């Protein structure tokens, strides 16, 4: 009756309560594991990105080493270059750059009108939305004019805000045009009442670096007092060589690309170092160190800081322009080619160069103190105590910086004193992170705005997004693994005393971390990277399954192949440097000499006979020259069972 039915009801509601609990519990566990996988993927992307940057910094010391040795060997060639370049120097006039290039009637892209107005900004935005390409004539004109105006700007721009004139600060864009469109859509175009600071790293990695640069430069020319550009570590022609901007320009501007690169090199060096807002907020790209001296930085000749890869050597400090001694200075030009100037090397003194490197490359960390930034190879890791010290020293309240990708687009640390702002959403992969910008107004707390661009009309479910990110991250990690196959195999075998082909998870993780130099959660990632037997032991050779490096030359020894694959970015830059006549070819002899230097400096153990053999093999038509770029392009990694996923970051430059 009534009693029994109510007890059935209670029992029933009890069981459904229990059932609901089970499902909720299970779902929360599942969701948490998805989130953890997402974080692991992000960690992989970040580690590899910073390891690459470290590689770039290493290249810098190699170049110093190379100059000392190489310059002696090829002095005559350098003399010849010197002559042709001196005349090049004279031609650095507007006339050469711009007026010699005609815009044909058939061109139906945007036509800018100087002096520029906000109409030109709209014109550019519309055109780039239609994926049009701005004619080289206008690109050069804009860059030239921008450089002219930048020259008049101080190292630090001082900006004041007010309730009717809030300042918007954007971080890294890295060639992601959709993000810039999103920011303008949400926050309005730049104008006298809508000022912006773009805090560096406008270019590299994304595929629209030149379009972003054009929009920013044109906006700057229209509103020079309300559109502020700070230099980032990627506003550096040597970085552009490795990270894609140089390629983008040479691809989009086949005829005039080299000229564009030349003027870019100079423009970068004239970009201001930072912005100071309301006398209390410092906005710079990277960070600070315990020796950061803002007074010194206010006065350095910033245009002498050409590239992070051209460090001052001992001789640079010597400003004697003693032409009688025929001092030949050696530097790089826009596409990394060695050139000489008759004049003394125009470099900063070492301590000033280091001050700027710290500003462009440092990262904040939780640990007190100031340590070399071993992740990136340049700048430092600075702790909350350093932040307090420096901010107090100059009576500042906050540091706003960029330089690091954050999942939410921004991050606050050091007790609210340091803010990281990053504006390229989906930086590593679709779904990896949001982008953000800050609005500042004196007297009120900073406001943060986030966004995430997506090609789809609505977000994919979380599991799909995580899967995409994870696959992409694992793929690039596997490429690292295969590039160290010989070293890894040796390390594994050393640990495998019983020659069983198996190691404990701990031993495997130890080898991976040591050889690859990547601080990753190897145990958590192991199921994605190797086969594990039912006892929890790792079949270590399965680390290399389903992936191999395609050899352009069959007879090449596998270790050599791996080494060439691993260093191909570096080698590309180096060989471009040696190729003094821009022919794309280097002689077999140059190849050998180059390789000797490289292997000595990088401690690469490949014996000479192998290298000689390879050199001869690469000289396919036996005419004594090697098309090195073609050769390097041929080294790529083949993934067996390639899924229908789109390519990840490895394809960007």
Partner 1 sequence: MIHKDKERIIVAEFHKKIKEAFEVFDHESNNTVDVREIGTIIRSLGCCPTEGELHDLIAEVEEEEPTGYIRFEKFLPVMTEILLERRYRPIPEDVLLRAFEVLDSAKRGFLTKDELIKYMTEEGEPFSQEEMEEMLSAAIDPESNSIHYKDYITMMVIDEN
Note if 403 is an active site residue: no
Minimum distance of partner 1 from residue 507's CB (angstroms): 11
* Residue 290 or 411 having the CB closest to partner 1: 411
Q: Which is nearer to partner 1, 47 or 155 (CB)?
A: 47
In the complex with partner 1, which residue's Cβ is closer, 414 or 478?
414
Token pair for 574: 């180096």
Q: How far is the CB of 483 from partner 1 (least distance, A)?
A: 23
Q: Token digits for 140?
A: 């050069």
In this chain, which of 129, 254, 351, 367 binds partner 1, going by CB under 8 A?
Answer: 367
Class of residue 98 by CB neighbours under 10 A (exposed 0-12, middle 13-18, buried 19+): buried
- Stretch in the footprint of partner 1 (CB under 8 A) among 67-75, 100-108, 131-139, 458-466: 458-466
Least Å distance between CB 22 and partner 1?
4
| 178: CB partners within 8 A, 6+ apart | 453
Minimum distance, C-beta of residue 39 to partner 1, in the bound complex (Å): 5
- Of the candidates 231, 211, 98, the residue with the CA atom closest to the CA atom of residue 156: 231
Of 344 and 407, the one with the shorter C-beta distance to partner 1 is 407
Q: Which of 9, 158, 186, 523 binds partner 1 (CB under 8 A)?
A: 523
Q: Are 209 and 244 in contact (CB under 8 A)?
A: yes
The stretch among 10-18, 252-260, 301-309, 615-623 that binds partner 1 (CB under 8 A) is 10-18
Stretch that binds partner 1, among 70-78, 224-232, 249-257, 460-468 (CB under 8 A): 460-468
CA pair distance 63, 55, nearest whole angstrom: 12
Running DSSP on this structure, what letter comes out for residue 342?
S
Dist CA 551 CA 557 (whole Å): 9
Do the Cβ atoms of 134 and 124 come closer than 8 Å? yes
Site string for partner 1, 132-171 (x = CB under 8 A): ----------------------------------------
User: In this structure, what token pair is assigned to residue 449?
Assistant: 């705005």
Q: Which of residues 80-109 bind partner 1 (CB under 8 A)?
A: none
128: CB partners within 8 A, 6+ apart: 177, 208, 211, 214, 215
**By C-beta, is 28 or 129 nearer to partner 1?**
28
Instruction: Enumerate residues 565-584 that contact partner 1 by CB under 8 A.
Output: none
Applying CB under 8 A, the site for partner 1 has a residue count of 42
- 73-87 in b/e burial notation, b at 16+ Cβ within 10 A? ebeeebeebbeebee
Based on CB atoms, which residue is closest to partner 1, 32 or 296?
A: 32
Cα–Cα distance, 190 to 118 (Å, whole number): 9
Q: What is the DSSP letter of 501?
A: S
Q: CA 533 to CA 536: how far, in whole Å?
A: 5
The contact mask relative to partner 1 for 22-51 (x = CB under 8 A, - = no) is: xxxxxxxxxxxx-xx--xx--x--------
Region for 400 from its dihedrals, namely left if φ exceeds 0, alpha if ψ lies in -120 to 50, beta otherwise: beta
Give the Cβ contact number of residue 370 at 10 Å: 21
Ramachandran angles phi, psi of 578, nearest 5°: -75, -30
In the complex, least distance from residue 179 CB atom to partner 1, rounded to whole angstroms: 22
Binding string, 598-617, against partner 1, x = CB under 8 A?
A: --------------------
Sign of CA pseudo-dihedral 42, 48, 51, 56: negative
- Please, are residues 79 and 342 in contact by the beta-carbon 8 Å criterion? no
Q: Which is nearer to partner 1, 14 or 318 (CB)?
A: 14
Residue placing its CB nearer to partner 1 in the complex, 315 or 464? 464
Nearest to 236 by CA among 399, 92, 60, 436: 60
Nearer to partner 1, 273 or 466 (CB): 466
Question: Given the rule CB under 8 A, which of 12-20, 299-307, 448-456, 636-644 is the region that contacts partner 1?
Answer: 12-20
The minimum distance between CB 585 and partner 1, in angstroms, equals 47
In the complex, what is the shortest distance from the CB of residue 197 to partner 1, in angstroms, rounded to a whole number?
Answer: 24
Q: Which of these is catalytic: 137, 174, 228, 234?
A: 234
DSSP H helices in 362-436: 384-393
Q: Which of residues 461-520 bind partner 1 (CB under 8 A)?
A: 461-464, 505-506, 509
Interacting stretch for partner 1, rule CB under 8 A, among 86-94, 253-261, 359-367, 436-444?
Answer: 359-367
DSSP per residue over 21-49, as a string?
Answer: HHHHHHHHHHHHHHHHHHHHHHHHHHHHH
Tell me if 17 contacts partner 1 by CB under 8 A. yes
Contact footprint for partner 1 (CB under 8 A): 15-33, 35-36, 39-40, 43, 364-367, 411, 413, 459, 461-464, 505-506, 509, 521-524
Residues belonging to the active site: 234
């Amino acid at each position: 009756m009534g009693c029994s039915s109510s007890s059935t009801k209670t029992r029933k509601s009890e069981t459904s309560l229990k059932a609901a609990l089970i499902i909720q519990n299970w779902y929360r566990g599942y969701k948490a594991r998805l989130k953890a996988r997402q974080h692991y993927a992000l960690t992989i992307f970040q580690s590899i990105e910073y390891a690459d940057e470290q590689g770039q910094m290493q290249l810098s010391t190699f170049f110093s080493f190379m100059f000392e040795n190489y310059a002696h060997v090829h002095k005559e060639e350098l003399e010849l270059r010197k002559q042709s370049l001196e005349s090049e120097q004279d031609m650095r006039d507007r006339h050469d750059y711009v007026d010699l290039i005609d815009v044909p009637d058939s061109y139906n892209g945007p036509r800018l009108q100087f002096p520029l107005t906000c109409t030109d900004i709209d014109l550019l935005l519309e055109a780039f939305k239609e994926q049009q390409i701005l004619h080289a004539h206008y690109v050069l004109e804009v860059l030239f004019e921008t450089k002219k105006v930048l020259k008049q700007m101080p190292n630090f721009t001082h900006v004041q805000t007010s309730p009717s004139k809030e300042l918007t600060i954007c971080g890294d864009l890295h060639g992601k045009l959709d993000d810039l469109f999103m920011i303008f859509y949400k926050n309005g175009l730049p104008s006298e009442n809508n000022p912006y600071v773009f805090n560096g790293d406008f270019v590299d990695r994304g595929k629209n670096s030149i379009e972003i640069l054009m929009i920013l430069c044109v906006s700057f020319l229209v509103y020079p007092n309300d559109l502020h550009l700070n230099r980032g570590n990627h506003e550096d022609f040597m970085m552009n060589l490795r990270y894609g901007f140089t390629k983008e320009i040479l691809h989009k501007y086949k005829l005039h690309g080299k000229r564009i690169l030349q003027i870019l090199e100079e423009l970068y060096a004239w970009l201001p170092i930072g912005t100071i807002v309301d006398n209390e907020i410092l906005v710079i790209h990277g960070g600070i160190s315990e020796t950061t001296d803002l007074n010194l930085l206010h006065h350095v000749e910033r245009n002498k800081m050409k590239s992070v890869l051209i460090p001052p050597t001992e001789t640079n400090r010597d400003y004697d322009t003693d032409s009688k001694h025929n001092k030949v200075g050696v530097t790089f030009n826009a596409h990394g080619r060695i050139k000489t100037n008759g004049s003394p090397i125009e470099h900063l003194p070492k301590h000033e160069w280091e001050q700027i490197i710290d500003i462009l490359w440092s990262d904040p960390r939780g640990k007190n103190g100031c340590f070399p930034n071993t992740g990136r190879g340049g700048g430092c890791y600075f702790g909350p105590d350093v932040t307090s010290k420096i901010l107090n020293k100059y009576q500042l309240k906050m540091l706003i910086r960029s330089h690091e990708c954050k999942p939410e687009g921004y991050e606050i640390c050091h007790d609210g004193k340091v803010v990281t702002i990053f504006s390229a959403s989906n930086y590593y992969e679709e779904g990896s992170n949001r982008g953000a910008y800050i609005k500042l107004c004196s007297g009120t707390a900073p406001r943060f705005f986030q966004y995430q661009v997506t090609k789809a009309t609505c977000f994919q479910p979380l599991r799909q997004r995580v899967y995409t990110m994870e696959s992409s991250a694992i793929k690039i990690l596997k490429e690292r693994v295969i590039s160290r196959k010989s070293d890894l195999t040796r390390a594994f075998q050393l640990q495998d005393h019983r020659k069983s082909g198996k190691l404990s998870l701990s031993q495997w993780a130890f080898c991976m971390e040591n050889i690859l130099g990547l601080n990753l959660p190897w145990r958590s990632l192991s199921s994605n990277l190797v086969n594990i037997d039912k006892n929890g032991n790792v079949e270590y050779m399965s680390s290399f399954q389903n992936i191999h490096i395609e050899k352009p030359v069959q007879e090449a020894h596998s270790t050599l192949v791996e080494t060439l694959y691993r260093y191909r970015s570096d080698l590309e830059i180096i060989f471009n440097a040696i190729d003094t006549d821009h022919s794309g070819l280097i002689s077999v002899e140059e190849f050998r000499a180059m390789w000797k230097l490289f292997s000595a400096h990088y401690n690469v153990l490949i014996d000479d006979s192998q290298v000689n053999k390879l050199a001869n093999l690469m000289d396919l038509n036996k005419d004594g020259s090697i098309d090195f770029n073609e050769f390097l392009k041929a080294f790529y990694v083949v993934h067996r069972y390639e899924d229908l996923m789109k390519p990840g970051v490895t394809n960007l430059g």
